[in-house]
Amino acid sequence: MKQLVIIPTYNEALTVERITEEIFKLYEGISILIVDDSSPDGTADVVRKLQASHPDLYLLVQEKKFGLSRAYINGMKWGLEKGFDVFSTCDADFSHNPKYLASAIEAINDGYDCACGSRYMSGGHTQETNWFKNFISKGGNVYARLILGREIKDWTEGFNTYTKDALSKIDLDSIKAVGYIWGAEMKYKAVHKGLKVKEFPIDFAEREEGQSKMSFYIIFEAFFFVLKIRLGL
């Protein structure tokens, strides 16, 4: 089983080397695709240097900043063309601890189509100390559960793993979200396509270096897009 970990980057030159090294230490048979939105800080150059010592590290540079959803979708399409079997999404800033990739693969090996990290199920936790971000995250997730359903405890978490068959049934070309809410759209389609989805607890950390990409536009998009997902628009 060939696993591809897709990491979108924009100005992550300070973190991309470390996250790459940590993932490659986990277990054999894992590959990484960095999808960089033409970062002006030289993120792609850091990756190119790492490729000399990591043959399973790949780089896809987009000609401009397309956003999180397009980075992940383009990365998944690239991986499907290259023959990968399992696709994991992971942030570059260590808010997602790479060790949890093993929990995702365990769920896939148990027959699940999608394995989703969860901060808000039993055993899950968030270390976020910024009261505003915490409020937005928890409040937004409660809102998402009310609108999208209670099958998923953490609709908005982006640390997820899908099989290639799951991606085929979800239909990547049907995903319309641009920002962080894209993960909720993926999960909603997975549930309503009858795919087997398993959540597993994770400890979500504050980013250690660099700047958060959160903005009021992202919050605004997420609020209204949850309704669009539910209505099938």
Which pLDDT score, from 0 to 100, does residue 3 have? 97
| Coil vs helix vs strand at 56 | coil
Confidence of residue 204 (pLDDT cuts 50, 70, 90): confident
Q: CA-to-CA distance for 38 and 50, rounded, in angstroms?
A: 17
What type of residue sits at position 112? Y
Which secondary structure element, helix H or strand E, spans residue 59, and what is its range?
Answer: strand 57-61
Q: What domain range includes position 57?
A: 3-231
Percent of the chain past pLDDT 90, that is, above it, reads 61
Residue among 92, 42, 63 at smallest CA distance from 213: 92
- Count of domains forming the chain: 1
What CATH number does the domain containing 37 carry? 3.90.550.10
At residue 174, the 3 state secondary structure works out as: helix
The model's pTM is 0.88
What's the average model confidence in pLDDT over 152-181? Answer: 91
Least confident of 1-10, 37-46, 63-72, 104-113: 63-72
Query: For position 165, what pLDDT does the model report?
Result: 97
Which pLDDT score is estimated for 225?
73
